[in-house]
């Protein structure tokens, strides 16, 4: 049986891994490498537990530091594992430092790379994710974009011959786990001290973790001011990196309509998406999940991540500014049930089939 080394390190990758690994292990021996990029229990371990993901064969424990420090340490450690395991292919998801480090380690050892979620482009190298995904695409033997728009970017860069649209494993996961929600996951919300949080009957759901939105009081206040002005409370699970600033701003400005919670697992998050009035986020994953759920979404970014979600204003960009966010949230939105650009919910099978074809 041929061997695949899969490298993950961050929350969105764990979600994709859950659905792909389930299919992959029927055909290949999978060796799972966790870089440790997301190390907090609520950002890592809980996903492996609740999504029945096999435990990593290697946990490299690498997190923190500058981009260069993190990526360099990962490259060294991943190379050591790949030299030991001698896999037939390295499987990668998305656009984290873990992704690029693994791609560089593999290609230098002449191990072919399969990149799932290839071809996304923001159009700016100011984004570290843009650098990671562009480098990874260009050294990968197989590029598997989720959508037709991502395929077109790859074709423009001369990579069309490496690429096949397979759909989005995030959509696979959303469908699979939404069918298995029972409401109990919504009782698991806690505050930073671990005390239970009672979920309001009606609420908005917000995720906000990107550095460009959370690195100053002014930007985060603009977002908080918008949520405070809404007609229902907002549930905001706070990323550990942003914990202190968010808590201090709530205390200093007396926000009563903003419910801060500890980070949540995947099932709780998609249940919150499914039950929310609307969604505000700066996450590429959550904006897709809002689209999958038919929920109006405002994305606090200045560049489009998933153009497919922007159709008919289902997802709109906003600045970290109260007036702009409220204006976008007030838009009337209608979802077209016939429009599903993210595949048929069977991308995992298609990914494994492309790997089988390449290694045959």
- Which among 34, 115, 209, 275 is annotated as catalytic? 209
In this structure, the dihedral spanned by the alpha carbons of residues 54, 55, 61 and 65, taken in order and rounded to 10 degrees, is: 30
Is 209 in the active site? yes
| Active site residue ranges | 209
């Amino acid at each position: 049986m041929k061997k695949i080394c899969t490298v993950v390190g961050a929350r969105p990758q764990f979600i994709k891994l859950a659905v792909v690994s389930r299919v992959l292990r029927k055909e290949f021996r999978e060796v799972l490498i966790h870089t440790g990029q997301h190390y907090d229990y609520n950002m890592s371990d809980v996903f492996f537990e609740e999504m029945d993901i096999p435990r990593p064969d290697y946990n490299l424990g690498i997190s923190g530091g500058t981009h260069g420090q993190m990526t360099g340490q990962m490259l060294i450690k991943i190379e050591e594992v790949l030299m030991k395991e001698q896999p037939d292919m390295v499987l990668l998801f998305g656009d984290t430092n873990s992704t690029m480090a693994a791609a560089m380690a593999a290609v230098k050892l002449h191990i072919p790379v399969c990149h799932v979620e290839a071809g996304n482009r923001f159009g700016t190298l100011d984004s570290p994710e843009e650098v990671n995904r562009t480098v990874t695409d260009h050294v990968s033997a197989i590029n598997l974009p989720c959508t037709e728009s991502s395929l077109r970017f790859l074709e423009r860069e001369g990579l069309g011959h490496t690429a096949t649209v397979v759909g989005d494993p995030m959509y696979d996961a959303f469908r699979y786990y939404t069918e298995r929600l029972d409401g109990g996951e919504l009782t698991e919300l806690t505050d930073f001290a671990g005390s239970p949080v009672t979920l309001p009957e009606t609420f908005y759901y917000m995720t906000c973790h990107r550095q460009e939105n959370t690195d100053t009081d002014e930007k985060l206040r603009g977002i908080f001011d918008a949520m405070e002005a809404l007609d229902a409370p907002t549930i905001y699970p706070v990323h550990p990196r942003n914990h202190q600033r968010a808590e201090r701003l709530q205390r200093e400005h007396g926000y009563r309509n903003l419910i801060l919670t500890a980070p949540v697992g995947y099932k709780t998050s998609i249940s919150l998406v499914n039950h929310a009035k609307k969604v505000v986020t700066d996450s590429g994953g959550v904006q897709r999940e809002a689209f999958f759920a038919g929920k109006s979404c405002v994305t606090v970014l200045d560049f489009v991540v998933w153009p497919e979600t922007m159709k008919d204003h289902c997802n709109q960009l906003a600045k970290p500014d109260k007036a702009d966010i409220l204006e976008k949230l007030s838009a009337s939105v209608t979802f077209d049930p016939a429009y599903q650009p993210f595949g048929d919910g069977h991308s995992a099978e298609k990914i494994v089939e492309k790997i089988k074809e390449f290694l045959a």
